[in-house]
Homo-oligomer: A and B are copies of this chain.
Amino acid sequence: MSNGTERPAAPAPITTARASIRDIARYAGVSVATVSRVLNGSALVKPESAARVQRIMEEHHYLPHAAARSLGRMRSETIGVVLPDIHGEYFSGLMRGIDAVAREARLHVLVASAHGSLREAREVTQSLYGRIDGLLMMLPEAVDPNEAQAMTCGLPTVWMNGRHGALEGCHVSIDSLTPARKLTQHLIDGGRRRIAFISGPRRNMDADQRLRAYLSVLAEQPDAMEPLVLDGDFSEESGYQAGRQLCVQPQSVDAIFAANDMMALGCLFALQEAGVDVPGQVALVGFDDVPIARYVNPALTTAGVDVAGMGGKAMSRLIQLLGPEPGEATDDVFQPNLMIRTSSAAVNTGQGINAENKRRASDQR
């Protein structure tokens, strides 16, 4: 490419190796520095020169080489996003929020999934070094703060969803504890006492908070039954299975708290298949407020989590971190709103309650 010493006229075919800044400089009859200046919008260029350079660049379909530029200015204008996995509405919502803010700041986004593994998270993050200016991190599970700190490779980092021990730095997260407590309490307030819980993935920090909230509220409620926890993994399939399992002896339970909406929906369909009336016989609540939650029948009570908002906030914070005024460590916590809908209507207002359930609920109130 471009070893000629004269100024060729024909624009390079765009499928071929592209012109470099030197070629443009030569064609335009200026120095490389000048081309670099117009590239970066420097004011110290004579308008005519600038125009000529511009024209030549267009004629040759010139594009600056990002890697070279990165190396020169030690900045890639790219942010790395490391996530536990790539699944469903949660992932897409997060990415949408991140992308919206990144685009505004003309930043690129490099996504990497840890595939649920801490080791992979570490590896992938290291291989990002030199390719990104900052990091948005969400680990599949809690780790030692030193370990977490080491994983950033010294890059400016905003942690999402969950503090790792006493880890310093900037955090953005969604509180699960409070709304999960409220949801459990809401079921109790509705006259439910025999509440089952469908858990999320083991070691997942959100799932864990939700479970703990459920357990703690039950513990404070003397006339509630012993906790009943069914295994789930956040998939509708696992919710469906849990629902079927509960249908074997539906009388033993009058409410179900699923750790996320997809499982709640799977569970709902299992219950309906078995002819169990929701919320008449069994109340049901989820977590996340996925778009479909309000459309199902009965509409699903849940906690409205603004994942996109959190992603956007994380990106904003990171951008500030990269700027001249990084500021102190921050910790932004998003509070979900409770979306009380039909699936958790109180027993005395529910329809089609069978006598036994009704009696028991009244007895215990």
Interchain CB contact under 8 A, A112 and B115: no
Chain A positions within 8 Å of B, measured between CB atoms, are 14-16, 18, 61, 63-71, 76, 78, 86-89, 91-92, 95-96, 99, 103, 106, 108-113, 115, 126-131, 149-150, 153-154, 235-237, 240, 262, 265-266, 269, 272-273, 291-292, 295-297
User: Given the complex, which residues of B lie within 8 Å of A71, measured CB to CB?
Assistant: 65, 67-68, 71
Q: Give the residue name and chain of the B residue nearest to A291 (CB).
A: B236
For the complex, give the distance between the alpha carbons of A154 and B15 in Å.
4
> Is A150 within 8 A of B14, CB to CB?
yes
Q: Are A129 and B297 within 8 A (Cβ)?
A: no
Copies in the complex: 2
Complex Cα distance, B151 from A61, in Å, reads 11
The CA-CA distance from A103 to B85 in the complex, in Å, is: 12
A86 near B76: Cβ-Cβ < 8 Å: no
Report the Cα distance A16→B155, complex, angstroms.
Answer: 9
Q: Which of B63, B65, B95, B130 touches A69 (beta carbons < 8 Å)? A: B130
Contact of A269 with B297 in the complex, beta carbons under 8 Å? yes
Distance between Cα atoms of A150 and B68 in the complex (Å): 22
Q: List 12 A-B contacts (CB under 8 A).
A: A14-B153, A15-B154, A18-B154, A65-B129, A66-B127, A66-B131, A70-B131, A78-B110, A99-B111, A109-B110, A110-B111, A273-B297
CA distance A88 to B63 in the complex (A): 33
Question: Which residues of the partner chain B approach A86 to less than 8 Å between Cβ atoms?
Answer: 92, 95-96, 99
| Complex Cα gap A341–B78 (Å) | 45
Q: Contact check, B96 vs A154: say whether CB atoms are below 8 A apart.
A: no
Which residues of chain B come closer than 8 Å to A291, judged between CB atoms? 88, 235-237, 262
The answer to whether B66 touches A128 (Cβ under 8 A) is yes
Known: A15-B154, A86-B92, A92-B87. A66 touches B108 (CB 8 A): no
Shortest CB-to-CB span from A163 to chain B, Å, is 19
- B236 lies within 8 A of A295 (CB): yes
Are B113 and A99 in contact, with the CB atoms below 8 A?
A: yes
The minimal Cβ–Cβ distance linking A258 to chain B, given in whole angstroms, is 13
- A89 contacts which chain B residues (CB < 8 A)? 88-89, 92
Please pick, from B91, B112, B262, the residue contacting A108 in the complex, using a CB distance under 8 A. Answer: B112
Question: Is there an interface contact between A88 and B92, defined as CB atoms closer than 8 Å?
Answer: yes
CB pair B110–A108 under 8 Å, yes or no, is yes
Given A78-B110, A265-B295, is A63 in contact with B153 using a C-beta cutoff of 8 Å? yes
Contact A240 B273, CB 8 Å, known A95-B86, A115-B103: no
Nearest B residue to A110 by beta-carbon distance?
B110
B240 touches A265 (CB 8 A): no
Query: Which of chain B's residues have a CB closer than 8 A to the CB of A131?
Result: 66-67, 70, 76, 78, 108
Cβ of A269: which chain B residues have Cβ within 8 Å of it?
A: 295-297
In contact, A65 and B130 (Cβ under 8 angstroms): yes
Q: Which residues of B contact A88 (CB under 8 A)?
A: 89, 92, 291
Tell whether, in the assembled complex, residue A111 and residue B113 are in contact, meaning their CB atoms are under 8 Å apart: no
A78 to B131, CA, bound (A): 10
Write out the residue numbers on chain B whose beta carbons fall within 8 Å of the beta carbon of A115: 103
Alpha-carbon distance between A252 and B167 when the two chains are bound, in angstroms? 63
CB neighbours (8 Å) of A128 from chain B are: 66, 108
How distant is A247 from chain B, measured CB to nearest CB, in Å?
A: 14
CB of A124 to closest CB in B, whole Å: 8
Chain B residues with CB under 8 Å of A153's CB are: 14, 18, 61, 63
Distance to closest chain B CB from A189 (angstroms): 27
